[in-house]
Amino acid sequence: MKNTVTVICLLFSISFVCAQSPQRYDVVINEIMANPSPSQGLPGVKYIELCNTSSHSLNLNGWRLTDGKNSAVIKHDFLLEPDSLVVIGTSAAITALLNYGQTIAVTNFPTLRINGDIIMLYSAEHVLIHAVQYNKSWYSNEVKADGGWSLEMMDTKNPCTGASNWKASLNINGGTPGMRNSVATVNTDSTSPKLLYAYSPDESHITLVFNEPLDSSGAADYSKFTVNGGIGQPVAANAEPPFFDRVTVTLSRKQQQNKIYEISVKNITDCSGNSIEPLSAKTALEVLPRKNEIVINEVLFNAPDEGAEYIELYNRSNHTINCKDLIVATRNTSGGLGTMKPLTTENLLLFPGEFKVLSADIAAVKRKFISIHPDTFLEIPGMPVLPNTGGTIVISNRQGEIVDELSYNESWHLPLIGNTKGVALERVNIDAATQDQHNWQSAAASVGYGTPGYQNSQYRTDLQVQGDIIVDSGIFSPDNDGHDDYLLICYRFPETGNVCNITIYDASGRAVRHLVRNGICGTQGFYKWDGLDENNRPLHMGIYIVLTEVFNLHGKTKQYKKTVTLAKRLN
């Protein structure tokens, strides 16, 4: 009778184990060997290690590891006990790793790309148990990132915080397959999740993007979201796999074109239980950018030491643009487009009146320049290189239409600046033509020679003047301090077809600079004088006369004479 009871209990125990429905994070991806070469002592094979973090045994039969392309399915019973490990790999890899602990050989093992990949673990019931999107930066060690070392999870009780919970192995052999991780420690997540941004995939939905995975059940509570503009509370919410760091809400009313909405969120938590503070983000229906709606607003093409080049864009339209619809390129010597890089593959909105700073190394830009709005920076790996002496920058949309284009030259810098290394060129007037040399000026010394992500130091708003010819200021001081560094000579005519000559005279009546010769004028525009003479030498301070002669196609001529003062700053 006693033996019978024992057998019944054993059968019940086995049945109970098999009946357990695995929950998310019951088993976690605990170690990844993506690049085993050069070997530090382990067999030179790729592998993934799983850890059972639950309090019950789990049968892994039917479980699946996938990178979205290759799916490795465990095709036999394997009981993974609580707090135990198993190493997964190809047949050849497992043969080499048999002496390192429990192993399972599979076919169609994920590729485990060296620079980064997504690995997802599904139960036999097709429930997503854990997902990891690693990349090379997770090593935080350039030598180990080069190969031969695994990535190990620090705290299996904190499985969804990404890079902050992973490190390169500290084991001298390069990894710890089948053993306790060498980096294992308590690494509790006590930081509240942050709402990064939002976007509208269509009229009826808004997607919110967070900096870490959320509790998916709590994030599915649509009562925690509110949209202004007469929309109110959504009718549904869904946290999106595999990382649950995005929530898409379904709206009760459709969004309107060219209207900006604000979506607010409160009382949701991350997977560690940290509650989010009430936050909000802007969103709108996007419009494909057309010519001159997005303009090049600032360029640093000769980067400072330990710095990086950048291009600043500005949305001067009344449309909201999706950055993934924009491409940055340069023209080659034959005039064709060289390397073309999309700004991003993510849905990232650029609202009217906003800036976006593009660079291959945003950290280097931020080290050298003030970053008032860090969120405006967008890193583009492999962004086209900007020649120091001159080149052409092209911004196009995804349909290949040119949105804006600038052919710059180092001679556009203020000649008084001896060394233009690390000095950006800034657009003077947002509404003036991009390819007008007079619309560009060296960034002021007072702002560190660059203003990435905020209003240009040389920006002017007083260019739309009344009358025929006017100078913007009677006094200017070309010392690159950001205040009256140049003289603007603005014109406005009721029709096109006018031609002008502008000559600068000193107080003795001698012509010291022929600023414009037979310049073709539109209905409105401006020319710029930097206080230099005909040979690009600084003139002495004093009174000067600006004589503008304008004649039209009918041979009629009119002269405008303006008196200005060239001042110098006293040290």
User: Within this chain, do residues 275 and 307 fall inside the same structural domain, yes or no?
Assistant: no
188 in any annotated domain: no
pLDDT in tens, 144-165: 999 999 999 999 999 988 899 9
Number of domains making up the chain? 4
Mean pLDDT, the chain, whole residue set: 91
Q: What is the pLDDT of residue 474?
A: 81
Report percent pLDDT > 90 for the chain. 75
User: Within this chain, do residues 201 and 163 fall inside the same structural domain, yes or no?
Assistant: no
384 in any annotated domain: yes
The SS3 assignment for 375 reads: helix
Q: What is the pLDDT of residue 200?
A: 97
User: Within this chain, do residues 277 and 355 fall inside the same structural domain, yes or no?
Assistant: no
pLDDT in tens, 318-363: 999 999 999 999 999 888 999 899 999 999 999 999 999 999 999 9
The last residue of a domain, from among 439, 460, 481: 460
Asked whether residue 466 carries a pLDDT value surpassing 60, the answer given is no
User: Within this chain, do residues 315 and 434 fall inside the same structural domain, yes or no?
Assistant: yes
User: Within this chain, do residues 303 and 440 fall inside the same structural domain, yes or no?
Assistant: yes
pLDDT in tens, 208-249: 999 999 998 899 999 999 999 999 999 999 999 999 999 999
Residue range of the domain that includes 327 = 287-460
Asked whether residue 2 carries a pLDDT value surpassing 90, the answer given is no
The residue to which tokens 């080049």 are assigned: 309
pLDDT in tens, 8-33: 444 444 444 444 689 999 999 999 99
**Nearest partner of 144 among 170, 121, 179, judged by Cα:** 170
Q: What is the pLDDT of residue 422?
A: 96
- Higher-confidence position of 14 and 180: 180
For the entire predicted model, the pTM comes to 0.77
Residue 1 burial (10 A CB sphere; 0-12, 13-18, 19+): exposed
User: Within this chain, do residues 411 and 518 fall inside the same structural domain, yes or no?
Assistant: no
Rounded to whole angstroms, the Cα distance separating 279 from 244 reads 18
The last residue of a domain, from among 460, 477, 510: 460
The last residue of a domain, from among 263, 283, 303: 283
Rounded to whole angstroms, the Cα distance separating 489 from 203 reads 47
**Do the beta carbons of residue 552 and residue 497 sit within 8 Å?**
yes
- Higher-confidence position of 1 and 197: 197
257 in any annotated domain: yes
By DSSP bridging, strand 279-283 and strand 205-210 are unpaired
- Residue partners of 133: CB distance under 8 A and separation at least 6: 116, 117, 118, 119, 162, 243
Q: What is the pLDDT of residue 11?
A: 41
Rounded to whole angstroms, the Cα distance separating 291 from 326 reads 12
Rounded to whole angstroms, the Cα distance separating 245 from 212 reads 5
Asked whether residue 277 carries a pLDDT value surpassing 90, the answer given is no
Give the mean model confidence (pLDDT) for residues 370-393. 94
The SS3 assignment for 553 reads: coil
Cite the beta strand spans of 1-46 per DSSP E: 27-33
The CA distances from residue 5 to 10, 16, 18, 24, 205, in Å, are 8, 16, 20, 34, 58
Highest mean pLDDT of the ranges 68-77, 430-439, 489-498: 68-77
Q: What is the pLDDT of residue 438?
A: 86
Please report which confidence band the pLDDT of residue 254 belongs to, taking 50, 70 and 90 as the band edges: very high
The SS3 assignment for 305 reads: coil
**Do the beta carbons of residue 208 and residue 247 sit within 8 Å?**
yes
The CA distances from residue 2 to 5, 9, 225, 308, in Å, are 5, 11, 60, 78
User: Within this chain, do residues 411 and 359 fall inside the same structural domain, yes or no?
Assistant: yes
Q: What is the pLDDT of residue 13?
A: 44
Give the mean model confidence (pLDDT) for residues 450-463. 81
User: Within this chain, do residues 411 and 555 fall inside the same structural domain, yes or no?
Assistant: no
User: Within this chain, do residues 371 and 517 fall inside the same structural domain, yes or no?
Assistant: no
**Do the beta carbons of residue 326 and residue 294 sit within 8 Å?**
yes
User: Within this chain, do residues 432 and 345 fall inside the same structural domain, yes or no?
Assistant: yes
Q: What is the pLDDT of residue 463?
A: 42
Q: Amino acid letter at 286?
A: E
CATH number, residue 551:
2.60.40.2550
Least confident of 72-76, 129-133, 347-351, 488-492: 488-492
Report percent pLDDT > 70 for the chain. 94
Q: What is the pLDDT of residue 175?
A: 98
pLDDT in tens, 97-124: 999 999 999 999 999 999 999 999 999 9
